[in-house]
Amino acid sequence: MKNDIQWARSLVGRFARQKIMVIGDMMLDRYIYGAATRISPEAPVPVVRVGNEKNMPGGAANVARNVCALGGRVYMRGVVGRDAAGDDLLQVLKEDRVCTRGVLRYAGIHTTVKTRILAERQQVVRVDWEDRLLLPAKVRNAFCAGLFSAVRSMSGVIIADYAKGTIGQDVVNAVMRSARPNAIPVALDPKENDNLKLPGLTVATPNRKEAFALARLPEQPPRANPLKDQPLLQVAAILLNRWKPAFLLITLGVQGMLLVSRNRPPRHVATVAREVFDVSGAGDTVIATLLLALSAGADYEAAAELANCAAGVVVGKLGTATCTDRELQDYLDMLTRTGVKTSRRS
């Protein structure tokens, strides 16, 4: 029998055959880098002399970027304005090999932009331009109809909800009506929208803070052992009952993940990160890897373990980063050399 990690490596090799749709709130992350050597005479704030700028996909667009980095074929669905920021966002997605033919450009909105100004790697300020997405009923109905017809040709779907207005019950209904009869896995990255009805959902992946907020309970300090963290287990039970997914994966930062389903005991997937520099953006990597693995034939426990390995790669990098399929293969090789095993479940 193949050992566990050899099997995981073969699973990663099947990522390139998966067609993944990512639906959600698209944003442009703009970084301005410079040096601060003096304080402004106008106010007690640093003066940053700009050295360079960089545009990157944000929100649901960063989830799509992560799927593409892992080798999957990505089809982005969302809404951007007919403005310069929308042009910039579509350009960086094109550079990342994300298909944007299904992205709606609408003149009545401004593309969401989050600008971070950094001096010597220290963030000085973040400036956000954003409006809640409000589309005329006719336009929104057409957007949902396009989703319904396109989902059936996908291997999997990620709904990336950043609470900016793209994801509503109408969008969820269109996805689920097409995905369920075709046995297409659907993953939800939730933020604040706790009223969605999600019949047939495969998995939801909130982080710990989001899970408590979505369960409408005050967040409690984490316990050393997540399997004995009663407030966390209570939150998991609430979300399982509300959404009724096949399973729930709560990401716990340096503690790894809590994997919960209705018919098996909760399971703690401990982090396999060698070093943790930055956990920002790791959730996007987790849901991208998880859905690719499920689409490629893994069951939920094996998919969670592979997602945990991908998270181990990105938290070892500074800033919002991605994990490539090559990096994930190399990481699995490292686990082989060090004697660490993953579980073979399918």
Place of tokens 């998270």: 311
User: Exposure pattern of 42-80 as b/e (b: 16+ CB <10 Å)?
Assistant: eeeebebeeeeeebbbbbbbbbbbbbbbbbbbbbbbbbb
Question: Shortest CA distance to 187 belongs to which of 68, 290, 259?
Answer: 290
Active site residues: 284
Best CA proximity match to 328, nearest among 344, 345, 311: 311
308: nearest Cα among 257, 239, 244, 245? 257
pLDDT at 273 over 70: no
Query: Please, are residues 251 and 205 in contact by the beta-carbon 8 Å criterion?
Result: yes
pLDDT in tens, 14-73: 999 999 999 999 999 999 999 998 999 999 999 999 999 999 999 999 999 999 999 999
pLDDT of residue 1: 28
Query: Rounded distance, CA 162 to CA 283, Å?
Result: 13
What residues are paired with 54 via a beta bridge? Answer: 31
| DSSP code string of 142-160 | HHHHHHHHHHTT-SEEEEE
Which pLDDT belongs to residue 343? 46
| Sequence-distant contacts of 138-141: CB under 8 A, at least 24 apart | 139/104, 139/106, 140/170, 141/170
**pLDDT tens track for 111-141:** 999 999 999 878 899 999 998 899 999 999 9
Report the alpha-carbon distance of residue 158 to residue 147 in Å, rounded.
12
So where are the chain's domains?
Answer: 4-338
The token pair at 334 is 């490292």
| CA–CA separation, 255 and 224 (whole Å) | 8
Distance CA 109, CA 134 (A): 8
Tell me the per-residue pLDDT of 236-253, one tens digit each, with 9 for 90 and over: 999 999 999 999 999 998
Q: What is the average per-residue pLDDT within 149-157?
A: 97
Q: Which fold has domain 4-338?
A: UDP-N-acetylmuramoyl-L-alanine:D-glutamate ligase (3.40.1190)
Is the backbone of residue 316 left (phi > 0), alpha (psi -120 to 50) or beta? alpha
Q: What is the mean pLDDT of residues 102-111?
A: 94
How far from chain centre, in Å, is Cα 128? 20
Q: CB-based contacts of 265: which residues, under 8 Å, 6+ apart?
A: none
**Residue 294 backbone phi and psi in degrees, to 5:** -65, -40
- Rounded to two decimals, what is the model's pTM? 0.91
Please provide the DSSP assignment of 15-81 as one string: GGG-EEEEEE-EEEEEEEEEEEEEE-SSSSSEEEEEEEEEEEEEEHHHHHHHHHHTT-EEEEE-EEE
From the centroid of its chain, how far is CA 195? 20
β-pairing, 247-251 with 257-260?
Answer: antiparallel
Give the number of other CB atoms < 10 A from CB of residue 163: 12
Would you place residue 313 in the very low, low, confident or very high pLDDT band (cuts 50, 70, 90)? confident
Mean pLDDT of the chain: 90
Q: What is the pLDDT of residue 278?
A: 42
Q: Residue 342 burial (CB < 10 Å; 0-12/13-18/19+)?
A: buried
Coil, helix or strand at residue 283: helix
